[in-house]
Chains A and B, each alone.
Chain A
Amino acid sequence: MNPAEITSTIRSHILQEFLPGEDPSALTDTTPLVTTGILDSIAVLRLVTFLEGQFRITIEAHEADAQHLNTVGEIARLVQSKLGTA
């Protein structure tokens, strides 16, 4: 999967699960997710479960925080780094 596909998979999952009804163009690669209440702690857990299943990667507990998962761009980078070293 190339970087653009990874980003698009993540973006559509977040729109569908956590922002139903939102105009897709409103969610950019740099929209803050955790610090703005779009993803709460339970949503982060669900997102991590999705990423692990979808991309067959393991996300460590210390990576599942606002620093690594606050935007679509950061999530995509985390996933890519996992796939790159796999």
Chain B
Amino acid sequence: MTYVLPELLERSARAFPDRTAVEESTEGSITYAELMRLSDRVRDRLIRVGVRPGDRVGMMIRKSVDAVATLFGVMKAGAAYVPVDPTAPMERCAYIFQNCAVRAIVAEREHVRGLEREFAGAFSPVLIGVDGTGGGGPLRAALDGLDAGDRAPPAESPPADPAALAYILYTSGSTGKPKGVMLSHSNAAAFVDWCSSVFDPRPTDRFSSHAPFHFDLSILDIYVSIKHGAALVLVDESLGKDPVRLAAWIAHKRITVWYSAPSILALMAQFGKLESQDYSSLRYVLFAGEVFPIKHLRLLKSLLPGPRYFNLYGPTETNVCTWYEVPAVIPDDQTEPVSIGRPCSSCRATVVDPSGRDVARGEEGELCIAGPHVLQGYWDLPEQTKNAFLPGRDERWYRTGDIVIEQADGNYKFLGRRDRMVKKRGFRIELGEIEAALYRHPKIKEAAVVALPSDDGVTIRAYISPAGGERLSIIELKGFCSQRLPLYMVPDVFEQRDALPKTSTDKIDYQALLRA
């Protein structure tokens, strides 16, 4: 039985009205009944300003009770929420909102003027400014203020349409612009129900929310927690990056289900003083988004032997589609990362050769996924949407771009990518998007970006050849990039050459760059 995501909140608000639904890392929190009421008010206001089923509503607001109430309010109005990273460059956020033509944006007040400046009158969604975030108070105050001048009458949620879009998550795009992955309520519901079947969530659970809301890991955190009447415990951005404070926080907050990219877990294992804390509440450690270096996973498991560990695999386009429980003991001589496992019961998987034909079992090829998790498409990119699926099949098989091999035990092993996408600290990066940003620099003639393996995962290295041969300041280059790209995409290292090596067809020769 499929459903729309706000139904999960409605059911839990009826069953557990007084339980805490969301808790912030500092002080704020909200009960299920209050979250229900506050998100109803957001819905009423959005409908009052003209938001209709099928619309999009942007969110530029830090992770908070206010943000959770907003995203439920957006979906209750029948619209899809489009969350952006409030710390990303304004230009990128404005591009995303304009690209999917949001009808309205809920933004912290400090961003409102910057958005208006970027839109420059060419695009004018309704802007709802909120003075900060925390416990739902600022959102409530903003709604009160709007009601004082123009009361939003209580509205009915439109009829539930599980096939409608629930959210659009923008990821790095190879052509230099982020692309919007469109996911429906049914997509999310199939994944959430699969989580229910595997992780036996309970109302007494306390789910961490480490990933930001524009990241697909947040779907498990928010909706599995809300579905089961559990508490969603938000990790704010600065705490989320600090392994020392975060490790103490997980123990102090008695988190029972932790979910994040491996990088912060690896840092906590190394710097978090885990042996000095009580983690007896922790039942599950889930990780996804990139390969977990085995030595750090082994260290983490030895310091924290209590919980069960799962490697969840899947791109934003399918959310999690394969999964693997890490065995109790990782052999000392194991140097390879753990498997990405088998398909979720709600997904089907196949492995294909470059021509799109299924390979024989045990041969390597590209992993493709079918079933209810699979995205609806990319926003306004019909060509990329078409190419995302295997041609000539009756069913939509999403091509992950990941090269895998099925092992004898039926689990898949991840071997690498077929394109230029890399993962750095769980963030998905198209190297082409970084190159496109570099090419906008007036003094750069040529740019090529590569990812090299390093101790912490990958190092992003940019080779540039300056116009006119004059050497450019690396400080200036990093500053230039940080105004156009999220910080995790800013190259770690710059190397300047008079000219970049070329292939016989006059394309940049990446192999030669990597050899040099």
A residues whose Cβ falls under 8 Å from a Cβ of B: 19-23, 26-27, 31-32, 35-38, 40-42, 45, 61, 64-65
Contact = CB atoms under 8 A, between A and B. Distances in A.
A45 B475 contact: no
Interface in B240-260: 241-245
B416 interface: no
Contacts of B474: 19, 21-22, 26
Contacts of A21: 474, 493-496
Interface in B217-271: 238, 241-245, 267, 271
A61 B244 contact: yes
Interface residues of B, number: 26
29 contacts: A20-B493, A21-B474, A21-B493, A21-B494, A21-B496, A22-B473, A22-B475, A23-B471, A27-B475, A32-B479, A35-B482, A36-B475, A36-B478, A36-B482, A37-B478, A37-B481, A37-B482, A37-B487, A37-B490, A38-B475, A40-B488, A41-B242, A42-B425, A42-B456, A45-B243, A45-B267, A61-B242, A64-B242, A65-B238
Contacts of B244: 61
A21 B477 CA distance: 12
Interface of B: 238, 241-245, 267, 271, 425, 456, 471, 473-476, 478-479, 481-482, 487-488, 490, 493-496
A61 B241 CA distance: 11
Nearest to A44: B241
Nearest to B248: A61
B433 to A, nearest CB: 15
Contacts of B242: 41, 61, 64
B471 A40 contact: no
A44 to B, nearest CB: 8
A23 B473 CA distance: 7
B487 A40 contact: yes
Nearest to A33: B475
Nearest to B264: A41
Contacts of A61: 242, 244-245
A21 B475 CA distance: 10
Contacts of B245: 61
B478 A38 contact: yes
A45 to B, nearest CB: 7
Q: Which of A19, A26, A36 has most B Cβ within 10 Å?
A: A36
A45 B425 CA distance: 15
A84 B167 CA distance: 53
A31 B475 contact: yes
B271 A26 contact: no
A19 B475 contact: yes
A64 B246 CA distance: 14
A31 B478 CA distance: 12
A19 to B, nearest CB: 5
Nearest to B471: A23
A18 to B, nearest CB: 8
